[in-house]
Chains A and B, each alone.
Chain A
């Protein structure tokens, strides 16, 4: 019973994550500006990959779930920082004209 529930939860999380990553990649492909691309990439990719990593609860394997939680914590910490670093670099380059 709980296995079926976990399978359904994992599949739903997988679909959500893949949809978010597809939206993000489409935004990066279509947007003309660096800041617009960064908006699409930074806002949709992080939750997408978090959902894909969280779908590994369906494996019911303790080692897999622990490392998935570690990877989720790492993505939560680093995704905004890298987005901010790219945005600051683009801002500085635009302002100095170089």
Chain B
């Protein structure tokens, strides 16, 4: 894919990542929603880096980051719902 497409896309995703930091959450659930969104934006940024450099190992990091964000989101949600990750 030509760099004239990928580089503005990477700049745009980075701007999305910055704008996601501006989420003003009023309670904890909204913070968890914003965290999940930011993790997904970071996965997209890693995929774009993989496209840009034409190497595969950025996608390893993308898969691992999506796994970690899933586990973090589910653990935080269960903690919020019932006071413990297994309760």
A71 engages B47 (CB within 8 Å): yes
Complex Cα distance, B81 from A85, in Å, reads: 9
22 A–B pairs (Cβ distance < 8 Å), ordered by A:
A14-B5, A14-B6, A22-B16, A25-B20, A28-B37, A37-B33, A38-B33, A49-B41, A52-B44, A53-B47, A55-B47, A56-B59, A59-B1, A59-B54, A63-B56, A64-B50, A66-B56, A67-B60, A67-B63, A71-B43, A82-B70, A89-B76
Q: A-facing mask of B14-30, CB < 8 A → 1, else 0?
A: 00100110110001011
| Chain A neighbourhood of B50, CB < 8 A | 56, 59, 64, 67-68
Contact surface of A with B, Cβ cutoff 8 Å = 7, 10-11, 14, 17-18, 21-22, 24-25, 28-29, 34, 37-38, 41, 45-46, 48-49, 52-53, 55-56, 58-59, 61, 63-64, 66-68, 70-71, 74-75, 78-79, 81-83, 85-86, 88-90, 92-93
A90 engages B29 (CB within 8 Å): yes
B64 nearest CB across to chain A (Å): 10
A11-B5, A28-B23 known; A71 vs B62 contact (CB < 8 Å): yes
- The interface residues of chain A, by DSSP majority, are classed as helix
A25-B19, A58-B1, A92-B82 known; A71 vs B66 contact (CB < 8 Å): yes
B36 engages A86 (CB within 8 Å): yes
B62 nearest CB across to chain A (Å): 5
| Chain A neighbourhood of B41, CB < 8 A | 21, 25, 49
In the A-B complex, the 3 residue pairs with the smallest Cβ-Cβ separation, listed nearest first, are A67-B59, A63-B56, A85-B77
Complex Cα distance, B37 from A64, in Å, reads: 24
